[in-house]
Structure 1
Amino acid sequence: MTNLITSTKDVSLTGDQKVDGLFAGTAWDGTITYAFPTTSSSYAYSGEKDYQFSSISSQQQSLALFFMEQSYGNAANDGFSVEGFTNANFEAGSAATATVRFAQSSLPDTAWAYTPNIGGRGGDVWFGTEYAGTEDDLRFPRFGNYAGQTVAHELGHALGLKHAQEAYASNMTVVPSAYDSLEYTIMTYRTYVGDDGTGYEYEHDGAPQTFMMLDIAALQEMYGADYTTNSGDTVYKWNPNQGITYVNGVAAITPAANRIFATVWDGGGIDTYDLSAYTTALKIDLRAGGYSVFSQGQLADLGGGPNNGYARGNIFNALLYHDNVASLIENVRAGSGSDTIVGNEADNTLWGNAGNDTLTGDSGNDTLDGGTGIDKMSGGVGDDVYIVDNFNDTVIENANEGTDTVRTAVGGITLGTNVENLTYIGTDGFAGYGNAADNVITGGTRSDWLDGKAGADTLIGGAGDDTYTVDSLGDVVVEATDGGVDRIFTDLAAYSLADIANVENLSLKSDVNSTGIGNSLDNMITSGRGNDTLSGGAGNDTLDGGQGTDSLTGGTGNDIYVVYDAGDTVIENADEGVDTVQTYLTGYTLGANIENLSYRGPWVFGFVGTGNNLDNVITGGGATDTLSGGAGDDTLDGWTGTDTLIGGTGNDTYIVDNAGDLVTEAANGGVDTVRTTLAGYTLGSDVENLTYSGTAAFTGTGNSLANTIRGAAGADTLDGKAGTDTLIGGAGNDTYIVDDLSDVVTEGLNEGTDLIKALSSYALTANVENLTFTGTGDFIGTGNSLANVITGGAGNDLLDGGAGNDTLNGGAGNDIYVVDSASDVINEQVNAGTDEIRTGLAAYSIAALINVENLTYTGSANFTGTGNALANTITGGDGNDTLNGGAGADSLIGGAGDDTYIVDNAGDIATEDADEGADTVQTALAAYTLGVNVENLTYSGTAAFTGTGNGLANTIRGAAGADILDGKAGADILIGGAGDDTYVVDDLADVVTEGLNAGSDLVNTTLSSYALTNIANVENLKFTGTGDFVGTGNSLVNTITGGDGNDTLDGGAGNDTLRGGAGNDIYVVDSASDVVTEAVGAGTDEIRTGLAAYSIAALINVENLTYTGSASFTGTGNALDNTITGGAGNDVLNGGAGADSLIGGTGDDTYIVDNAGDIVTEAAAAGTDTL
């Protein structure tokens, strides 16, 4: 903190009363220190400090710092501080020694301050307490209120300013009355000009918010001007609703109310007042000392004065310091109202934006842009630029006020007086017209019309096809390379493009004899009614002499000569390009070295055009023309009308557009072509080729020569007739008539859906989709990779679409369809022959093809083939095929591989050769017997099924019904499934497979011995053979039935039923619940049992009982003559009624004898027996 006491200096008058009237006489010399004492002891003198001393409020300190220090707050504040607009340097000092000190005392009524002096009081500021508690309380200063103005006013005294209206002994000068108001200085007591100065009369928040222009000027005279503050490109912007002042987007002054009342000082740079947020009619004046009105609502109400009681402006501009213009504001960006803007001596840019604005540039090289609306712009002296965006904008420029430019996006503009240059900045075509001055007119990127009028003008076209009007030899045309095709119009008698780069065309408007010379570009040179001389030079030129006897020299390049007069001379040297005469004469013969001839006269007249020995192109008109080509490869085009076209020798081309056109061609007169737009045309004799050049459908017909016929984009029909023809359809859905196998059809990719009509077998060429047979007899039609439609005839056709999703239409006859895509479509009519599908697909069905009988697989893999309701023949290949004929009596031929036949008709025949795999029939028929060479049979129905095998090792599968499965000879596998199934077993190698709980099943066998032991889940066994039978059960409840022989029936575990039948049968009983059934007189039968006791008392037809166990046994007979045999145990044998034979065996046996005929047989030493 600095405690240096600043010295003072005398201030001299400047001679400017406005500024001199504010000098108190002295100023500080050196660094100015400041302080805000908090105790009265900081003051060495008596007086104010002794009257209710107090430090000032924080608001007062903040505003005092704002007005003093450039570094206080943010950078937006800088320009409004004394340190910012002068070279004064402020630093904080001590309360006892600081140069400028601020405090409060009740001694002053309001406030006072002491001007600079080196005594103890110099620079001290005292705020009184008279207004304490009122709206003017000095402790609460804000920008625009009385307390805020008081801070700045008293600081002004402390820095050396006096009252503007008072004469001091040290300076008797007062500010002139015209400037003695708060609008110019805060150091006056006069609120407005003419005020009596007895007290401020402004509204509560209507005080100035900053030092004003005279204050700034006086302080700068005392302390110098600081041009470093805001020396960059600064933007000042104001808010129309709150009155906030922004500097570079940062708020600097936020007023107490929506009022703007301040002065701007700016150190340098290109600066801008931005009022774009305003909708009012702004009045902006950028001149030094000028003022601007933004909004009537933001003007301070001064309580009286010449401006209806309001301040004359919102913002006032600082005066120039010693005429240095660096402090001027250069630019204005206005709002949407109709604004009035005045510039200054700097180079101003004034933007009016919306509204009908009035812009005045003053001196300087100004840019005036009124924006939208009808604007009035005056640049003043300097090289000014006017932005014109409305045809009704007004530009006012006085003589000798610089070289000025109008820049415009309006489509057509004529320069006003005293404006030299015109530049188009739009994007459309432009018509720019100059004035009597030497103008520079610049076009844009489109096609412009530039006319400088009088004066030596410079016309700059830019890109686009531009037109220049040249009326003076001093006019200069500037055209960019590749800047479009441009034209010069001139009424000069002679003009040359030779030295004018990049301009192509020249129009001579004079009716006198004119001379026009081109350059190396492709020129179009036209002239008027005189006898003109036109020379094109290099390039492809067009020379049009108009009326008169003209001399036309094309030079090198492909030139066009327009001939009106029979006296016109066309000069063309050999090898100078391909040249054309366009003539209005009704007859013309081409001269030497000119190739082409075109009639441009009235079409009511016929034209006779004659070529030469070059390759000519001769074009007629709308009447009846006669065109002769002569030697050379000529092109003759009669246009409309009935024309006669005579080609002569050479390969000629005839353009035919009328059905009455006559083409005359001699034999061996070259290879000739007719090009036509007619809907149909047939070649005459001796003409080889035909090309359609129209856009609709076309029918082109050849002759007996080898023709080339070309269609176009329509649906064309091309028929070459006899000869080896080439038919080229082009785009569109074309039809080709092929009557010779050597005919060539050419069709481009994606050029429509095309059809070939052929008289014999044919294979489609590339890019042609469809093929139709129009001949008689059999036909082979082959497609390509596209989606083809191939249509046969009445014969036996073979149709093969090849790759792609094809449609094959067979017609009558026994047709064969080759199918290679599942999406191929077959169309076959009812009763249209016996037809066949041949396919290499892995699966194919003719179920929906109700009129196709047969299906043949031509591939090598596995195949699934499905028939329809007809009697189909379906033939597989070498793979594992599945063939299903569907309804109808079908013939299914599997071939090699393990094939499956789906049989649903008793008339179906499965044909399988020997050693062609393990094959299977799947059927839902109630009964089926396998044919030869088929191994397996599977029932796919739900009812009872009888399945019969053959001599092979068959696998036969039943289903859920009561099936009868008979494998016949061979080692068969019989699988019954659910239901009460019957298995016929005729071979020991037969295998029966039965699922758990899958019904009560039966094995019928003719074998002499059979056991259910190894056949799980089969309950019953029946012998159906002859001779003796040994039948063995399993753990289930078995029923075992023997035959007429001596059978041995053993049910095994379970409660079994054993039926012996005739013969001497043996029943093996291992359960007391076993049931033995024996008929009367059916042989001498025996029960063999290992049970501890068994009685045959109820088995009235069984004679014998034998114990096969090892324990004791109780055996009981019946009324027959029984033989009961015990074992090694202690047996009890009771024969019952009848003469029985009881055989005890070893052990202590007991014999129950109840008949004198009973016989007891006991071996010696076989136990102690009882009778």
Structure 2
Amino acid sequence: MGAQSDPNKEVLYYGDTGELIGTESFSLDPFAGGSYLGKPIADLEFVTENLVRSGSNWLNGANYGVLDDGVLNFGFWNNIQELQNSYYVNDDGSIRFSEANPATFSAFSTAQRAVARTTIALWDDLIDISFRETRSGVADITYGNTAAGANVQAYAYLPFGDVYDDYYAQFGWETAQIGRLGGDVWIGGNVGSNFTPLQNSYYSVITQIHETGHALGLSHPGDYNASDDNDGIPGPDPITYTNDAYFAQDSLQYSVMSYFDAYETGAQHIDWTLTNFAYAATPLVHDVAAIQALYGVDTTTRTGDTVYGFNSTANRTAYDFTSNTRPIVTIWDAGGIDTIDFSGWNTPSVIDLNEGAFSSGGGTEQFLTLAQVNANRAALGFAPRSQATFNFYEGLKAQLGLTNGLFKDNVSIAYGATIENATGGGGNDRLIANNVANVLTGNGGVDFASYEAATAGVTVNLATGGTAGYAAGDSYVGIEGVIGSDFNDVLDGSAGDDLFAVSGGADAINGGAGSDTLTFQFAEAGVNVSLTGTGLGGHTLTSIENLTGSAFNDTLGGDSAANVINGGAGIDTLFYAGATSGVTVNLATGGTRGLAAGDTYVSIENITATNFADNLTGDAGVNVIQGGLGADTLTGGAGDVLSYADSAAAITINLGNNYAAGGTAARDVISGFDNVTASAFNDNITGDNDANTLTGGDGNDTLIGAAGADQLFGGIGNDSIRAGNDNDYIEAGNGNDTVLGDAQNDTLFGGAGDDNLNGGGNDDYLNGGTGTNTLTGGTGLDIFDFDTASFTDTITDFRTGLDKIDVSDIAGFTFIGGAAFSGANQLRFYTDGANRALAGDIDGDGVADLVIHLTGAVSVVAGDLILV
């Protein structure tokens, strides 16, 4: 099959905001015509034509095969004598091909033959051709082992035809002789992965499936073959997805004929309990389409009611997940009422019943240590992983951005097959319906019936089943939630506690009895919604008590009922749009007054309250609390932010004495806050003795630190900023700002505009930014940093031998003292009237591109400069 591809690849997922595709179950096929990682996403016709592009097959007449008897025969080379009596040996007895060498040939073992027979059966299930086992001399497809090449994994000869004629004609072979070679499969006898273990999901099995695909006429998806690299790049180089894949879907997610790992296209087929790759145990979704296009469709395969997965009745071990515990399979089924059964897993699963779609099940939610991995490997008789190999997988995990070891996109349904039912397991499952009558069974966990793939609106009642539209005829067992379509849906709950997820369209949602939840847990971006209707578009809600956000930063609001507001992951904000009176909110204990009465909060970090008198208290986390209009009582804690970003007028805040005035701060009672975000007007903010972060925003603000290591941000406007009595960090922002440090070690940034920075006492760092800046270090050992070329900055109190001037971010200068410029990236010191200056020539034209003015009769020597 060839070497594995380079794992140094970023995996990207596609989907517009709010789509329910993305990271759980995803196929590139529906996006044909687009691109992925710079490669075109091919349509099914192109994929199929590409896999059969050799034109070599067994369709040589009314019948087919060497015997032309309407049956494809397969068999095994049993001994060297059979080969020496065959077309592998010349008429004079000399060896024509190395496979006939007694020193390198070996017959298939009993276990290998069992795998080969299963492989033939899997291909036979797909196509309108019958197979029969026979002796080697008359077999169309014949299997054997050869150790002729030290690192040869395996290879196969395509069926007879013109594909070999030009090459072998040079040896005097006739067409009939060439044809007898076609279809033979050779497994590399020196490669251990071909023999141990001979089990589904391991490389030994996919190798036989892959090579048998060649023997039937399939090519690789791209123009690559073993070490033959045809990517057009001069010289030998590794065969990689980046260099050699013609189209986006060329990976082991879609085809066993590919050389490239499934993670190249976003799937996750690594078994993290053993730190090895799991491989396909059947031909995959593109292989099925291609082989059926070539030979026709077998309409007799599993026409009864068949179960795939746990409790399997498919009569193929690949589809029995109690034995094939790491399933990478594609399901072909010709009829009956069929089921995909994931009931044996207690981890979250996705089952997608649509043709060509991928489902995700199995794997582990927690990554393991090396010791745990090796314990698992020892239990199966595998050699332990070395630390170096384990580290490789750890690096791959980080490269792919994996947060768990669950399999993703590992079970697919062939195009043209219809599977009616889905059964989940003990985890929180998503069961995606198709356009026939489905039975969706959730079992344990919190499970969703999903209509995200629907091509029309649905009418769903979780108590009685789907009654209209795309959901007509559907029934639900153990389903707690429903995901609507992109169209106009009617979604009704049961008597229990239900969950509803909306997508496009204008949906009418009625939770009915119980405590029901509108959830955005599947959304691809943060949302701003409330149960009063904010952000819901055309959706209408009846009897919905609770709201759950996305995995991103959400803004969530309840209604007059007792709500449970769950932010989920991200930094989430609670708000009360439409309130007619104030609220009392404590993020730790819940809401007790107004619209918030009876509310419970989960994973909510911030509060934006009403325009009335509110009483807001944070929890033990870091909260941003914004009271709005009204005389509010606002209580923070360590790290909390008091925000007046929405104030329509300037405010004054003093954290030292908990004073609040002006704008929406008027009449507020504040306590316990470390940080303040001011308004867009001319604010006056003073810190306290803790480490404060004071953010001015727009307007001409006055920011004053106190004791504690403060961070002061002026924002836009002409700000006046004064550090407190500690090591403070100040960014003045845009505008003409005045910044004064204190007696400690301060870091001062001016930003855009004409700034005046004064470090005060001790050792300070000053960077004026752009504009005309005046920099005064004060006492102490100061660093004056310049990261842009300017002609207008002035240092007022530089002291040679004590202070430093840092120009390393502009260019790699060489200091030339008082000499004239003679080349690029030179820095010189010269007299500028009564003052002095440093000048830098960056481009070597003899003209200064940088001038730093120094007040007074100072001197600068090389030791005063930081050049690199």
TM-score by length of 2: 0.38
Q: Which one has a larger percent strand, Structure 1 or Structure 2?
A: 1
Q: Which one has a larger percent helix, Structure 1 or Structure 2?
A: 2
